[in-house]
């Protein structure tokens, strides 16, 4: 497998899937060893692993584990039995389209298999993993090339090595841009309620000695008003056919702020995140997570007793607010349906 970077969240080792438990970062670095598809589905649901590309990769490895178990259970009927596992994995999280892309890709491979399925499916899962790392590096180069002068950038949530097979989407651009002298500083939103910016993005940047400053989401407008950044760079969990972008809750607000303040807005995601079957952002399912994630912080109550909470995990940024979408196939400036279709046809 190609070198990812100093941070690696997913690894196949000794017939097991190993996942860095991102719930414990940055204070503890613990790898979970999983050997059942149900454990992989639980890890996706409970955010042991998160980020659209990483979820898809984990699911692919989960299917390898499912195939091993089902073939041992019934060498003649395992293809029927594994459908239960595929459905279980598909139900783990609803918004990240990479999950469904990986499941459908592996399902097609399963259809043509004869004999023990594990070696072939493992090779395919590893290929998905390797291709994602290569795509991230390509997106890093393409995104960094758009930055015309040394500047600071703002990012939201975590779209780094932890959210992908390695290197990262938005943070892949940061890594490439920093190496080229184009990105001088990273501002990271905390990203409530799971604090991915505070726990994960800041941690990744510290690991690689990239200057990073953490801020609460409410400080983003002030940062832009002061003229301190030139770009907002984020990832995505699903991009509609017209270029509308679903990403971590709070991204839409950043796009509005960026447009008002003349700050460029870049979305970085592999083509497996683009869902050409979804016409526009209104059709993207938005995951609603438990209210306890908002009412509590690390198991400590932070809200008045009796208060209720809403907890959408994602929001949709209209394509009209996006300056550029960067994929491994190329760059889409001022995205719309026609430009997205042309990019997806570019092989």
- Residue 11, judged by CB atoms within 10 A of its CB (0-12, 13-18, 19+), counts as middle
Among 241, 231, 287, 286, smallest CA distance to 261 is for: 231
Cis peptide before 310 (omega within 30 of 0): no
Question: Could you count the other beta carbons within 10 Å of the beta carbon of residue 47?
Answer: 18
Is there a contact between 254 and 219 (Cβ–Cβ < 8 Å)?
A: no
Q: How far apart are CA 178 and CA 210, in angstroms?
A: 7
Tokens of 136: 């991230």
Tokens of 194: 């799971």
- 336 is known as an active-site residue: no
Question: How does strand 324-327 pair with strand 330-333?
Answer: antiparallel
Is there a contact between 44 and 92 (Cβ–Cβ < 8 Å)?
A: yes
Catalytic residue (choose from 189, 237, 275, 315): 237
Catalytic residue numbers read 237
């Amino acid at each position: 497998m190609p070198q990812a970077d100093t941070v690696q969240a997913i690894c196949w080792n000794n017939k097991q899937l190993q996942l860095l438990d991102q719930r414990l970062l940055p204070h503890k670095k613990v790898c979970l060893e999983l050997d059942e598809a149900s454990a992989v589905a639980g890890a996706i649901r409970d955010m042991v692993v998160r980020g659209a590309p990483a979820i898809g990769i984990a699911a692919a490895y989960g299917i390898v584990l499912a195939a091993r178990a089902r073939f041992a259970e019934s060498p003649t009927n395992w293809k029927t039995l594994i459908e239960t596992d595929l459905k279980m994995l598909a139900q783990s999280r609803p918004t990240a389209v990479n999950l469904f892309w990986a499941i459908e890709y592996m399902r097609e491979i399963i259809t043509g298999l004869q004999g023990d399925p594990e070696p072939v499916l493992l090779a395919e899962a590893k290929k998905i993993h390797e291709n994602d790392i290569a795509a991230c590096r390509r997106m890093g180069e393409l995104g960094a090339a758009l930055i015309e002068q040394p500047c600071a950038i703002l990012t939201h949530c975590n779209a780094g090595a932890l959210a992908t097979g390695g290197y990262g989407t938005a943070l892949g651009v940061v890594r490439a841009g920093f190496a080229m002298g184009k990105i001088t500083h990273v501002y990271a939103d905390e990203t409530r309620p799971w604090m991915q910016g505070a726990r994960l993005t800041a941690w990744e940047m510290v690991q690689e000695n990239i200057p990073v400053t953490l801020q609460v989401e409410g400080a983003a407008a002030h940062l832009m008003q002061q003229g301190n950044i030139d770009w907002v760079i984020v990832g995505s969990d699903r991009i509609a056919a017209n270029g509308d972008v679903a990403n971590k809750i709070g991204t839409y607000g950043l796009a509005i702020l960026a447009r008002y303040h003349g700050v460029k807005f870049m979305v970085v995601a592999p083509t497996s995140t683009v869902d050409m079957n979804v016409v526009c952002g209104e059709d993207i399912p938005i995951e609603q997570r438990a209210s306890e994630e908002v009412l509590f912080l690390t198991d400590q109550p932070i809200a008045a007793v009796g208060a209720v909470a809403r907890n959408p995990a994602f929001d949709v940024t209209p394509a009209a607010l996006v300056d550029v979408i960067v994929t491994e196939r190329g760059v889409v400036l001022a995205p719309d349906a026609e430009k997205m279709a042309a990019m997806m046809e570019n092989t």
